[in-house]
Amino acid sequence: MSKGFASSYRIVLLAAGLLISFGALGARLVYLHVINRDELLQSVTKARRQVIVETARRGDILDARGAILATSRSLVVLGVDPSSLRPQDRKKWPQLAALLSMPEDELRRIFTTKFRGPVMATSASAASPAARSTDLVFNLKRPSVDGIVADPAAITKLPTGAVDDLRVEDEDADLELDPEADVQGRRAIRWAKLREDVSESIFAEVERLGIRGVYGQRVYRRAYPNNQLAAHVVGYVDREQRPAAGMEYYADFYLRGQSGWRVGERDGRNRELAQFRTREVPRTDGYSVMLSIDSTVQDIVEQELAVIGQKYQPLKATIIVSDPRTGFILGMGNYPSFNLNEFNKVPKEEAARMKNVAVADIYEPGSVFKIVATAGAMEEGLVNPASRFNCTIERIDYKGRTLKLPGEDHRFEHDELTVAEIISHSSNRGAAQLGMLLGADRLYRYAGAFGFGKMLGFPVGGEVAGILAKPEKWYPIDITRIPMGQTIAATALQMHQAMGVIASGGILWRPQIIRQIRDGSGEIVFHRIDGIAINRAVSERTAQTMAAMLMGVASKEGTAPEAAIEGFDVAGKTGTSQKFMPEVMPNGTTKLLPSHTHHVASFVGFFPASRPQVVISVIVDDADAHAPNGRAYGAKVAAPSFKHIGEQLIPILDIKSNRAVVRTNLLVAKEGGRR
């Protein structure tokens, strides 16, 4: 009988071959899963599932002419995976250090440090199963490294457990560590930051070196090309790229955009493996915001503030320039200021320089406030420009009381002054009598109509309402002090807008600063040309008459001939208010008393007087120590700056003189206003 086709020898040989093959396979499996497990897991985690964020570009902030005030620069955060470095690339390390402008020893230290020591304590999230997952997301967990602030709405859409993964972080913000510790308690360093502000051109040179394991993440960093220009209006974002102040904070909804994200994998050289991409949400860049600020006007303002600062060394100063026809702000600056690119270098003791004092600080406006009582009395038909008042009397009867009138800061040739002279000569007693003619209720109402005691709606800077008590809370003497700008407090912007009421023909405009909002393609999504009226304070006739009378202030006979501009009719008002300073009383207590050596000097005006095109306010706080004769008068400290700014604005804003028209209006006002 046949034994078959295979001999016993062949069968044994085949069986032995199979046994050897299965033995080799088993040995290989033991080697992979037991002996070399840790090393293999290291390589596996290099190609792990990740949520990769595509950061949205923050929109630009532009001035009225399209010049960039704030922008986002594309930079690269450069880092290294020490475990991916190759020995043959060591000769390129000195070249890399030179490109990055860092010491070679420091670069070598980072490259050769591959582990972080044992962690003594871990967070709850790090100890959770989700946190120990190999699907950890390293690109989102540290905004300080890559500039990304994860959008909460996007995080809710991530795969289950991804939010927990984002919490896993090391104490060192410049490192990313392997989530798994080895038997010695060490964690491998998967990424170490080399530099966070590498330009695209330098990064291109780094890539040409071809050092494996060195890679970058493109991010956007905020930059302010003009440094401190309009710092208090533009504002800034912090180092985490979060809006912190100014227009950056107010318009963040439009500026910030929406970051995109996708779920995919990266290989050991941090290259995305597109074939494994599963979900994707595209990014949407932020809108650009165009302001009414004119960089040329703003520069003039800030240069003048620098001159004031150097000459008088005041505690602070503010200059505002606006269009009285719409309320749009053309320039707003404060002294001292700061560099937006170096906001974090401002010492804590000088933090006040970062505040927009134009809207956040208050002061007694002094004589500039006299326009309110005067305009109110004229609007009510109680007086006209030729009405006369005795300005030498020291006391006056009012509602059954004898009140002491304030002292005068100026000498007058005659005992009686007309209303026009009360304004041009800045008579305190004349203003007090105009206020008493109006009465407390009407004076309070007109003050509110001119914008005092309430928010004007300026969008940036932390605006405050100022102080204007209701008549029932007034002391009897207040009716003689409020008309001259005492016992009330206002912001520089409130006083500026109040003068704007006269310049605009009687309308209180809301101070505005946003002109346009444009999307990423440049399409306009919002545009405003016209102003927003808050209310009508006085009639156009009253405003024109007031403008004609305010011209006398900047004349040779007025209190501020220093404000006159050759070829133009200037209308305005000086202000010099005492500051309340702490004084130690004989009994040891401290009391706030009006000072004779600390003043706030101001000049607020507009021109051309008949068809105003620009309103300018100059407010200087506590410049007495370096002012003429040790007292900072508005006429001496603030009015010259008004003139200097105005002269420079004439060609820039194409301001035309209307002197002949103004003189005609002045005559008509005087004659027609007689009753």
Is the entire prediction scored with pTM above 0.95?
A: no
Give the number of C-alpha atoms closer than 13 A to the C-alpha of residue 115, restricted to the C-beta side.
Answer: 12
The CATH number of 295-672 is 3.40.710.10
Round to whole Å and give the CA distance between 144 and 173.
Answer: 7
Residue type at 551? M
pLDDT bucket at 137, cuts 50 / 70 / 90: very low
33: Cα separation from own chain's centroid: 58
What's 381-396 look like in SS3?
A: CCCCCCCEEECCCCEE
CA atoms within 13 A on the CB side of 255: 26
Q: What is the 3-state secondary structure (H, E, C) of 542-589?
A: HHHHHHHHHHHHHCCCCCCHHHCCCCCCCEEEEEEEEEEEEEECCCCC
Rounded distance between C-alpha atoms, residue 595 and residue 581, angstroms: 6
- pLDDT greater than 60 at residue 579: yes
Lowest mean pLDDT among 165-174, 313-322, 451-460: 165-174
Q: Are 79 and 216 in contact (CB under 8 A)?
A: yes
CATH 3.90.1310.10 segments of the chain? 51-291
Closest CA to 218 of 270, 176, 257: 270
- Between residues 520 and 378, which one has the greater pLDDT? 378
Give the chain's radius of gyration (CA, Å).
36
Is residue 366 within a helix (H) or strand (E), and if so which, with residue range? Answer: none
Q: Half-sphere exposure of residue 167, counting CA atoms within 13 Å on the CB side? A: 14
Confidence of residue 607 (pLDDT cuts 50, 70, 90): very high
The Cα 271–Cα 12 span in angstroms is 51
Gap between the Cα atoms of 490 and 466, Å rounded: 5
Closest C-alpha to 594, from 353, 388, 407: 407
pLDDT band, residue 5 (cuts 50/70/90): low
pLDDT band at 659 (very low <50, low <70, confident <90, very high): low
> What is the CB neighbour count within 10 angstroms for residue 5?
6
Q: What pLDDT score does 672 carry?
A: 44
Q: Is the pLDDT of residue 47 over 90?
A: no
In the chain, ranges of CATH 3.40.710.10 domains: 295-672
The C-alpha atoms of residue 256 and residue 235 are separated, in whole angstroms, by: 14
| Fold (topology level) of 51-291 | Penicillin-binding protein 2a (Domain 2) (3.90.1310)
**Pairwise pLDDT comparison (289 vs 585), residue with the higher score:** 289
Strand pairing class (533-536; 507-509) = antiparallel
> What is the pLDDT at residue 522?
86
Per-residue pLDDT for 98 more than 60?
Answer: yes
Determine what percent of the chain is predicted with pLDDT higher than 90: 63
Residue 587 has what pLDDT? 86
pLDDT band at 411 (very low <50, low <70, confident <90, very high): confident
Nearest to 429 by CA among 439, 441, 445, 417: 417
Terminal alpha carbon distance of the chain: 150
